[in-house]
């Protein structure tokens, strides 16, 4: 009984659905503590994911359905996902091991309060986009292009067969910046006055920079795997790794 | 309800091929969650029970909501509940480390046993707190913090010991974030090779499915493990057992047959 009541309360208090028209369906995930920081974790097998920080207090969730052919026969797209909200932790994932995870043509678009942290992951999803998020950003894909815009906190991203592009609004000493791609290119854009130390590890590719890169004075016999280069005298470390792509460091 | 076991087996086959419909999955779920002797199909019960548990209450015909006690959320909650505690430990560890270092530097040189004993205790405590700081970071829910914890190992320890190598090996094999695993490889590459580190690297080679990690390990082997019988056997095993990325296959061939 207690379980039933608590589940009912959680459901009724947290999720209100207001489907719109056409192939897009919009929902609001009401947060336990609206407007305050929280975590959004999405782990889906095959969907593009777009998350944008906004000034609202709850999460706006939009499913864009562009399925074609046979994929349209797999029922309503909304049925593919579990959504759980608990104390501002929101988890969205594929409902179970059913074939729905393999269906192509779905995009999940979300607007979250700016101070949220996000942890986003897809395997076949072609794209992950994150913008205007003040919290930590963790993004993982496999056949996925990753774009992160205007990040100010930690950014940890990896993809195997896609490009990864990150624009940092500023680089902060205590934060972690760690980007990797196996066969794609890695792009990073930094403000002109950034003080940072780049740790570059690209085995079979090349790297290009708009900044003048100076040999890092602290380079020791340790961390021999990395090419260590300073931008404007050096500072917080930014690690950029790829194997068969190129690395581009841009000034903005 | 009566179930046709042949039909169940056929649906199971289709299920794992990703060809079942929602109603067919419901049929399977109902079958495996019913109190009956499943015979040779008993091993599938746990999986379908888990799937059923995920659908505690349907919100409407479209959405389902997971039980709030799902293991995934629980783990996240557990890790997050440790966040404040961990950061407190990290801060305390750092402060005591700095204080301990300062005290150690400014302590008057003395040959008395008391001073030596106190300094020894302080160093021991500092060491423990430093380990605690690293431990708190490496258990953090966000990969960024776990990477910082792993990098801290590289910064704080000039030489490896078995505990550190085993910890790095655990992250290399078990962390679900690829960049955390890459960070582990990088710290492993900072330490001199030992018998244990070589075993950890070769063992990790067997357990990885990410081409990025595999090629990172191959580079590490090239950098310091060199080729010997043990390495060649591990490479051969990898080459034979997996449907490898073509670049990795080339790399293994180059390593097995150096010019």
DSSP-assigned letters across all residues of B149-187:
HHHHHHHH-SS--HHHHHHHHHHHHH-S-HHHHHHHHHH
Beta strands A59-65 and A24-29: pairing type? antiparallel
Q: Mean pLDDT across the stretch A19-30?
A: 70
- B33 pLDDT band, cuts 50/70/90, is confident
Q: Give A107's strand partners.
A: A48, A64
Q: What is the pLDDT of residue B53?
A: 46
The whole-angstrom separation of Cα A226 and Cα A157 is 18
What is the ipTM for the molecules in this complex? Answer: 0.85
Q: Residues of B with CB below 8 A from A91's CB?
A: 66, 72-73, 76
Nearest Cα residue in chain B from A100? B18
Q: Output the six-digit token pair for A223.
A: 């961390």
Give the DSSP letter of residue B56: S
Q: Does B110 contact A at CB distance below 8 Å?
A: no
Q: Does A224 contact B at CB distance below 8 Å?
A: yes
Mean pLDDT value across chain A: 85
- Is A183 within 8 Å of A143 (Cβ atoms)? no
Q: What is the pLDDT of residue B129?
A: 53
- Percent pLDDT > 70 in chain B is 57
Residues A34-78: tens digit of each pLDDT: 989 999 999 998 899 999 999 999 999 999 888 777 777 777 777
Q: Output the six-digit token pair for A231.
A: 């931008």
Are the beta carbons of A180 and B179 separated by less than 8 Å? yes
Place of tokens 């960024």: B144
Most trustworthy range by pLDDT among A78-82, A152-156, B54-58: A152-156
How far is the alpha carbon of B248 from chain A, nearest alpha carbon, in Å? 11
Closest to A170 measured CA to CA, from A235, A214, A111, A218: A235
Beta strands A227-231 and A196-202: pairing type? antiparallel
Beta strands A186-190 and A213-215: pairing type? unpaired
Q: Among A10-14, A90-94, B49-53, B246-250, whose mean pLDDT is lowest? A: A10-14
Residues A91-105: tens digit of each pLDDT: 998 877 656 667 788
Q: Which helix (H) or strand (E) holds A159?
A: strand A155-159
The whole-angstrom separation of Cα B205 and Cα B161 is 21
Most trustworthy range by pLDDT among A1-10, A23-32, A111-120: A111-120
Q: What is the largest CA-CA distance in chain B?
A: 87
The whole-angstrom separation of Cα B30 and Cα B52 is 9
- A233 pLDDT band, cuts 50/70/90, is confident
Are the beta carbons of A226 and B186 separated by less than 8 Å? yes
Q: Does B5 contact A at CB distance below 8 Å?
A: no
Q: Mean pLDDT across the stretch B189-204?
A: 86
Report the phi/psi class of residue B227: left, alpha or beta, with left for phi > 0 and alpha for psi in -120 to 50.
beta
Q: Residues of A with CB below 8 A from B182's CB?
A: 158, 178, 180, 241
- B83 pLDDT band, cuts 50/70/90, is very low
More confident residue, A66 or A210: A210
Q: Does A78 contact B at CB distance below 8 Å?
A: yes
Q: What is the pLDDT of residue B113?
A: 66
Q: Is A107 helix (H, G, I), strand (E, B) or coil?
A: strand
Are the beta carbons of A7 and B57 separated by less than 8 Å? yes
Task: Please state, as a whole number, how many other Cβ atoms lie within 10 Å of the Cβ of residue A118.
Answer: 24
Global confidence as pTM: 0.70
Q: Output the six-digit token pair for B190.
A: 């900072």
- A248 pLDDT band, cuts 50/70/90, is very high
Residues B168-179: tens digit of each pLDDT: 898 898 888 999
Are the beta carbons of A158 and B179 separated by less than 8 Å? yes
Give the DSSP letter of residue A174: T
Find which of A222, A224, A238, A245 to mutate to test the B interface (most B CBs within 10 Å of its CB).
Answer: A222
Closest to A180 measured CA to CA, from A246, A242, A243: A242
Give the DSSP letter of residue A66: -
Are the beta carbons of A84 and B212 separated by less than 8 Å? no
């Amino acid at each position: 009984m207690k379980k039933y009541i608590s589940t009912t309360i959680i459901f009724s208090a947290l999720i209100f659905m207001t489907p719109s028209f056409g192939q897009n369906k919009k929902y609001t995930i009401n947060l336990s503590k609206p407007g305050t920081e929280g975590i959004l974790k999405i782990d889906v097998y095959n969907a593009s994911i777009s998350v944008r920080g906004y000034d609202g207090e709850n999460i706006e969730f939009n499913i864009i359905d562009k399925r074609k052919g046979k994929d349209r026969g797999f029922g309503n797209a909304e049925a593919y996902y579990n959504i759980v909200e608990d104390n501002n932790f929101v988890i969205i994932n594929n409902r179970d091991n059913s074939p729905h995870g393999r269906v192509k043509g779905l995009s999940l678009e979300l607007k979250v309060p700016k101070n949220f942290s996000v942890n986003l992951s897809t395997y076949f999803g072609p794209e992950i986009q994150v913008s205007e998020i003040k919290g930590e950003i963790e993004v993982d894909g496999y056949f996925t292009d990753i774009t992160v815009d205007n990040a100010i906190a930690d950014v940890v991203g990896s993809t195997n067969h896609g490009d990864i592009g990150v624009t940092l609004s500023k680089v902060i000493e205590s934060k972690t910046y760690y980007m990797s791609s196996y066969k794609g290119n890695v792009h990073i854009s930094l403000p002109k006055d950034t003080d940072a130390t780049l740790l570059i590890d690209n085995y079979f590719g090349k790297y290009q920079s708009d900044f003048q890169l100076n040999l890092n004075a602290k380079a020791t016999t340790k961390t021999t795997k990395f090419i260590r280069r300073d931008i404007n005298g050096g500072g917080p470390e930014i690690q950029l790794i790829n194997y068969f792509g190129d690395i581009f460091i841009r000034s903005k | 309800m009566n179930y046709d076991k042949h039909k169940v087996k056929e649906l199971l086959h289709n299920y794992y091929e990703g060809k079942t419909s929602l109603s067919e999955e419901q049929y399977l779920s109902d079958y495996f969650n019913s109190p009956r002797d499943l015979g040779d199909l008993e091993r599938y019960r746990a999986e379908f029970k888990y799937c059923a548990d995920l659908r505690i209450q349907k919100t409407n015909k479209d959405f389902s909501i997971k039980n709030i006690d799902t293991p995934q959320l629980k783990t996240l909650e557990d890790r997050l509940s440790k966040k404040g505690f961990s950061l407190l430990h990290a801060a305390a560890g750092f402060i005591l480390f700095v204080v301990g270092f300062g005290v150690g530097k400014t302590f008057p040189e003395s040959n008395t046993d008391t001073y030596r004993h106190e300094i020894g205790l302080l160093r021991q405590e500092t060491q423990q707190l430093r380990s605690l700081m690293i431990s708190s970071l490496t258990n953090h829910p966000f990969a960024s913090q776990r990477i910082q914890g792993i990098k801290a190992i590289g910064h704080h320890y000039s030489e490896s010991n078995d505990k550190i190598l085993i910890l790095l090996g655990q992250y290399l094999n078990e962390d679900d974030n690829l960049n955390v695993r890459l960070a582990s490889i990088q710290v492993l590459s900072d330490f001199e090779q030992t018998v244990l580190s070589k075993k950890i690297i070769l063992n990790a080679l067997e357990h990885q499915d990410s081409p990025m990690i595999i090629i990172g390990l191959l580079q590490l082997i090239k950098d310091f493990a060199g080729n010997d019988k043990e390495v060649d056997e591990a490479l051969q095993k990898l080459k034979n057992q997996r449907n490898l990325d073509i670049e990795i296959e080339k790399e293994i061939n180059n390593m097995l047959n150096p010019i």
